[in-house]
Structure 1
Amino acid sequence: MSAGVVTEAEGLTPAWLGEALGGRVDDVVAAPVGTGQIGTCYRLTLTGDGVPASVLVKLPAADQGSRDLLAGAYRGELVFYADIAPTVAVRVPTCHYAAITPGSGDFVLVMEDLAPAVQGDQIGGCTVAQARDAVTNLAGLHGPRWSDPTLQDYDHLTLQSPADIDLLTELAPSTTELFVEGLGDLVSLEDRATLRECAEVVGPWSYARGERYALVHGDYRLDNLMFHPDGASGSVALDWQTLSLGLPARDLAYFVGTSLDPEARRAHERDLVAAYHRALLGHGVTGHDLEECWEDYRFSMVQGPLVATFGCAYGTRSERGDRMFATMVARSCAAIRDLGTLSLV
């Protein structure tokens, strides 16, 4: 029997949680987590019998307009946890309960609390060991259903259509200018030039290399990953609202390019790509050798500026957000220049 959908923190009562979790909840203490820009999240501390000591609960945005706009993304995340996650090997939080009201953005998602794991820091970056762990985990998303045509049976999972690419091509130059003007001195003159060059090739870049596709997270970066506090391997990926189909190396390039400072990336990126490739082979991928994987990585580095400029220009601005996007752009633009990415488009 379903516990139904709760959309406000006030509805997370002991009775509702007991039904959702299949146990008895005597008391619940809720504390907000995160900034709540595209939804709200709470850590719940529970006492009772047959239930976890704590869980995380994701609810929709408080604003009804935002909730309706994000309904497709909410639905996609629930489908991922319910139907797709069991078919791949990427580490994700255990989903205890998920429900959505058909035709709306009203949903609830009750997940494993990963504490004491700690969230990655997009501005601070990560160690090479953390990067290796994260790209190996990423291969667990891509490899098991590499170029699997049945993925397109999901209504919300489609390859970019010509109409989508044409719109992206049209918006990219003006979006880049909004980004540059908005962040001002946070973006160097050299990076501004690279961003503008990227904006001019978005169309052909988006159309290219369509013969290889897989599930693509779309925002696989440090803020969306959890790491063991003692440095052990076993990172966990969060936030599956941007899942789509595309060239798998877009996730790989986006993560490496935005997570490591240029000096560390230059020294270790070939080893990181090789570790990712070995993991792909372990998940059954064939016909994709290391050199092709490396070339896809170089080519895909445009993903960093593309996501950062659109995310910043059209998202909710904040001081940390501005510094975060500027850092992501500085790192990925350096990678684009180092790797000769634009010469491959």
Structure 2
Amino acid sequence: MIHFPTQAEDLSPEWLTELLQAQGLLNSETVISVTHRTIGTGKLGSNVVLDITYSGNTNSAPKSLVGKFSARDEQTRAMAGLQGAYYAEVSFYERFAQHTPMRLPKIYFSGVSDDKLQFLLLMEDLSSYRAGSNLVGESRPHAEMALDQAAKLAASFYGSDSILNTDFVVHAARDDGGAFGQALLIEYWPKFLERFGSGLSAEAIAFGDYYVPRHAQFVSGREAPYTLAHCDFRCENMLFGETEMVTVDWQTPSVAGPLTDCAYFLGGSVDTEDRRRWERDLIAHYHQQLRHNGLDISAADCWEQYRRESMHGLMIMILGACFSQPDERGDKMFSTMIKRHLQQCLDLNATEFLHD
């Protein structure tokens, strides 16, 4: 294992000098100071902007970087580490990022400890970009940006064996057919309703009641060819510039379908009324982007897969809320998103893909 600092205050000018010199970004110059400031609201990690001062003028070395560290809270860090979240994110950047034209942050350093409880990513500073908010919902131009990027990812790994032979990409259909997730949903759905049920319609709750004991059908019924999906492709894991969108937080890369990320984004990151108005046009746009990137499926198949994948967000919302510490903003986000995802399933008649 390469030694690396595990929190921002441990990142020394000497360590960063050695790193940048090894990459050919510094010659005789050295880093003389590094200051940091926290950004974002990440639960599983700590994100900081690192402002860097050099001993001389340099045009090749970055004036600032974003550092992503493991969570400071010991319990959260242990949970994320044991789930493989830190290892998965580092592995994605090291092994898969170069194989897709999807816009991703440039990585200057990536490392994870042998016990997978500590990690560090040093990335290009995109703190001037705006992160999305799932409490609000995204605009149509931002939705198109997001779907353009999702199409690039889906097309890059469609039918590729590379995603099937790794130890960091989740493949629930192969591992247990979704049985473990279903068992957790059966246990935690009633607890979720105790916290969030008052904000749901009777129809939404009925859909959840029907879906939960059939989650394994959804997982195991997804047909090959598969592709790689981000699987938490929501606007708060995106950074929007004026002309581009950058996807971050790669802690749950999974084997899924080419419409998984698309359906999840439209279901949870777009206001329900906007989704209803835009989704036919946006799925047609997404279909064109898939074809542009070399993935040729029919428009009809694209729409049917979108309908089916509307159910992807349910387990993420239900278990995500139950396994995280309650806080006001987090609870608002889970409440908002589960309403949207369940309504998407109802609007698209997703029960058609399940059976008694």
Provide Cα deviations, 1:301-329, integer angstroms capped at 9, x if missing partner: 11122211110011122111111111111
Give the aligned partner of residue 244 of structure 1: 254
Paired positions, count: 340
| Superposition pairs of residues 119-158 of structure 1, within 5 angstroms | 119-158=131-170
Change (3 A) 1:323 1:65: closer
Question: Residue 87 in 1 paired to residue 99 in 2?
Answer: yes
Provide Cα deviations, 1:11-58, integer angstroms capped at 9, x if missing partner: 112111222233322222111123352121111111214421211101
Question: Residue 280 in 1 paired to residue 280 in 2?
Answer: no
Separation of aligned partners in 2, 1:13 and 1:67? 23
SS in structure 1 of the partner of residue 176 of structure 2: helix
Separation of aligned partners in 2, 1:115 and 1:103? 30
- 1:206 is displaced (CA, Å) by 1.0
| Superposition pairs of residues 172-321 of structure 1, within 5 angstroms | 172-228=185-241, 232-286=242-296, 288-321=297-330
Separation of aligned partners in 1, 2:187 and 2:78? 26
Separation of aligned partners in 1, 2:3 and 2:91? 16
Q: Structure 1: which 5+ residue stretches go unaligned?
A: none
| Contact 1:73 1:242 (8 Å CA) reproduced | yes
| Superposition pairs of residues 49-68 of structure 1, within 5 angstroms | 49=58, 50-68=60-78
Question: Residue 325 in 1 paired to residue 334 in 2?
Answer: yes
Q: 2:53 aligns with which of 47, 57, 60?
A: 47
AA of the residue aligned to 1:220:
F
- 1:9 is displaced (CA, Å) by 2.1
| Contact 1:59 1:108 (8 Å CA) reproduced | yes
| Contact 2:170 2:253 (8 Å CA) reproduced | no
| Contact 1:3 1:16 (8 Å CA) reproduced | no
- 1:124 is displaced (CA, Å) by 0.5
TM score, norm. by length of structure 2 = 0.90
| Superposition pairs of residues 2-41 of structure 1, within 5 angstroms | 4-22=3-21, 23=26, 24-41=30-47
- 1:153 is displaced (CA, Å) by 2.4
Separation of aligned partners in 1, 2:240 and 2:286? 18
| Contact 1:217 1:244 (8 Å CA) reproduced | yes
AA of the residue aligned to 1:329:
I
Separation of aligned partners in 2, 1:63 and 1:18? 29
TM score, norm. by length of structure 1 = 0.93
Separation of aligned partners in 2, 1:20 and 1:67? 26
**RMSD of equivalent CA atoms:** 1.8
| Contact 2:177 2:216 (8 Å CA) reproduced | no
Separation of aligned partners in 1, 2:205 and 2:327? 21
Change (3 A) 1:184 1:263: closer
- 1:201 is displaced (CA, Å) by 2.2
Separation of aligned partners in 2, 1:9 and 1:285? 42
Q: Structure 2: which 5+ residue stretches go unaligned?
A: none
| Contact 1:25 1:51 (8 Å CA) reproduced | no
| Contact 1:3 1:19 (8 Å CA) reproduced | no
Change (3 A) 1:186 1:91: same
User: Which aligned runs of 4 or more in structure 1 are off by greater than 6 angstroms?
Assistant: none
Give the aligned partner of residue 88 of structure 2: 76
Separation of aligned partners in 1, 2:42 and 2:331? 17
Separation of aligned partners in 2, 1:113 and 1:275? 30
- 1:142 is displaced (CA, Å) by 0.9
Using the TM superposition, name which of 84-93 and 13-22 deviates more. 13-22
